[in-house]
Amino acid sequence: MTSEPITQPPINVTRRLNPPPRSLSARLVRHPEARFGLVCALLLVGLALFGPLLAPYDPNQPDFRAKLEAPSTEHWLGTDQSGRDQFSRVLDGGQRTLGTALLVLSCIFGIGLVIGTIAGMSGGIVDIVLMRLVDILMALPSIVLAIAIVGVLGPGFENLVLALVISWWAYYARMARSYVLNARQRPDIIAARLAGIGWGRIMVGHVLPGVASQLLIIVTLDLGSMIAAIAGLSFLGLGVQPPAAEWGAMLSESRLYVTLAPWLLLGPLVPIFGAVLAANLLGNALRDTLDPGVNR
């Protein structure tokens, strides 16, 4: 410590009169589009969590006396070709669509974080090999690769998840790596290194929180495309298999009856659209809040 205090004119420590709220959630709530997205997202999450409990009928119980019925007070969204209540199936299916999207994105987040960080920190041959792999994977449209993998492995939930993870993680790894590479030159990290803090602590304290929040923005921005991809692949018969209710698979079935029972289409279509819209709004809001100056 210096024994002699430095004489200074008193510094007028004025804090901003209206400091922006410190917590992210409070800042998000101020964003008007985010508010709408949040409400939609909460509704959808609620639907995914409690939907099956709210379903008035057993979603998989056929009733051959009531096939392809139009919407009524009894069956709000009508019944499908086996007489199953479409409303119950929509409530039941949300969990599968949204849950799968979250599962796939968490896997991608983890893989991207680990591989990107390893590549960025190690440099040299490890970095070159990993980044070549990333380049190659990114040179194939991810939806094409996913179709091919699930097509070869055979349809089903596990293969769908596997195919999406394989075809989607590369971008995350590349983002994580470039963040780590930038961070290594950051002044606060140079200061910590000179002070004697080891790389491990620097990673945990300074680098990883930044990488994680950066990837989290991309996860939110990608959530909409992921929901669309899952529903789309299931629609093509490559994802969740009947009779399990899933929005994309239900769309596929309803398409066959589009002339006979056109009402069946909107039941799963509207929630898919709503989920993608909510995810996109949330993602944009999160990006604007965390990286001001973009898109303004």
Partner 1 sequence: MMQPVLQYDQVHVQYANGTHAVRGVSFSLYPGECLALVGESGCGKTTMARVALGLLPPSAQIEGSIRLGDTEIVGASAETIRRLRGLVAGLVAQNPFEACNPLDPVADHVAEAWHAHDQTPPRGLIGTALGQLGIAGALHQMRRYPHQWSGGMLQRATIAAAAAHQPLVMIADEPTSALDADRADATLAALRETGAAVLLVSHDIGVVARHADRVAVCYAGRIVEIGPCAEVLTQPRHPYTRGLLAATPHASAGLPIPLAGTPPKLNEPIAGCAFAPRCAFAVPTCRTDDPPLVDGVACPVLNAAGEPKALHRGDEILEMQPFPPFWRKRAAAVVVEARKVAKRYDRGARAVAAVQTASLAVQHGEIVGISGPSGCGKSTLLRLLATIEIPSAGEVWLDGALASRGGTPHLLNPLARTGFVMPIFQDPLGSLDARWPIWQSITEPLTAPHRARRLSIPQRRVIAREWLESVGLDHIDLDARPHELSVGQCQRVAIARALTAEPRLIIADEPTSALDASVAAAILHLLATTAHNGTAMVVVSHDRPLLTVLCDRVLTMDDGVLLS
Partner 2 sequence: MSISTLPTRSPLMSALPLVRALVGRLLQALLTLLGISVIIWALLPLAPGDPAQRLLQARGVQDPTPLQVAALRTELALDRPLPVQYAEWLGRAVRGDLSLSYQTGRPVLEELGKRLPATLLLAGTALVLSLLIALIGGLLGAAYHERWPDQLIRLLSQVGVSLPAFLAGLLALRYIVVEFNIGRVLSGGQWQYVLLPALCLAISRAADWAQLLRASLLEALGANYTLVASARGATKLRVLWRYALPNAALPFLTAIGVGIGGLIGGSAIIEAIFTWPGIGSYVFAAIAARDFPVVQGFVLLAGLSYITASLCVDLVALLVDPRLRDGGHA
Q: Where are the alpha helices (DSSP H) in the chain?
A: 24-30, 32-54, 86-122, 124-138, 142-153, 157-184, 187-195, 199-202, 208-235, 247-256, 263-290
Beta-carbon-side half-sphere exposure of residue 160 (alpha carbons within 13 Å) = 25
Q: Which part of the chain contacts partner 2 (CB under 8 A), choosing from 15-23, 109-117, 176-184, 227-235? A: 227-235
- For residue 152, the minimal CB distance to partner 1 (Å) is 41
Our CB check for partner 1 shows the closer of 11 and 53 to be 11
**Cis amide bond preceding 262, omega within 30:** no
User: In Å, how far are 116, 170, 183, 291 from 122, measured between CA atoms?
Assistant: 10, 18, 14, 28
DSSP state of 69: P
Among 273, 269, 275, 215, residue whose Cα is nearest residue 247: 269
Binding mask 183-222 for partner 2 (x = CB under 8 A): ----------------------------------------
Distance in Å, CB of 67 to partner 2, minimum = 19
Alpha-carbon distance 264 to 71, whole Å?
9
Residue 206 binds which of partner 1, partner 2, none (CB < 5-8 A, kind-dependent): partner 1
Residue 151 Cβ vs partner 1, minimum distance, rounded to whole Å:
42
Distance from chain centroid for Cα 126: 29
Among partner 1, partner 2, none, the one that 141 touches (CB under a kind-dependent 5 to 8 A) is partner 2
Minimum separation from the CB atom of position 7 to partner 2 (A): 43
Q: Count interface residues toward partner 2 (CB under 8 A).
A: 45
Contacting residues toward partner 1, per CB under 8 A? 1-2, 4-17, 19, 22, 186-188, 190-198, 201, 205-206, 209-210
CB of 206 to partner 1, least distance (A): 5
Task: Give 259's contacts (C-beta < 8 A, 6+ positions apart).
Answer: none
Minimal CA–CA distance to 249: which of 264, 277, 268, 262? 268
List of residues 6+ apart from 242 with CB closer than 8 A: 249, 253
Count the neighbouring beta carbons within 10 Å of the beta carbon of residue 187: 7
Task: Enumerate residues 88-147 that contact partner 2 by CB under 8 A.
Answer: 132-133, 135-137, 139-145, 147
Q: In sequence order, which residues have a C-beta less than 8 Å from that of residue 83 and are 6 or more positions away?
A: 62, 63, 64, 65, 66, 67, 68, 69
Q: Which does 236 bind (CB under 5 to 8 A by kind): partner 2, partner 1, none?
A: partner 2
Neighbouring-strand partners of residue 79: 85
Nearer to partner 2, 47 or 131 (CB): 131
Q: What, of partner 1, partner 2, none, does residue 12 touch, CB below 5 to 8 Å by kind?
A: partner 1
Q: Which stretch binds partner 2 (CB under 8 A): 54-62, 64-72, 117-125, 232-240?
A: 232-240
Binding to partner 2, residues 237-296 (CB under 8 A): 237-238, 251, 255, 258-259, 262, 265-266, 269, 272-273, 276-277, 280-281, 294-296
Q: Which residues bind partner 2 (CB under 8 A)?
A: 132-133, 135-137, 139-145, 147-149, 151-154, 224-225, 228, 231-232, 235-238, 251, 255, 258-259, 262, 265-266, 269, 272-273, 276-277, 280-281, 294-296
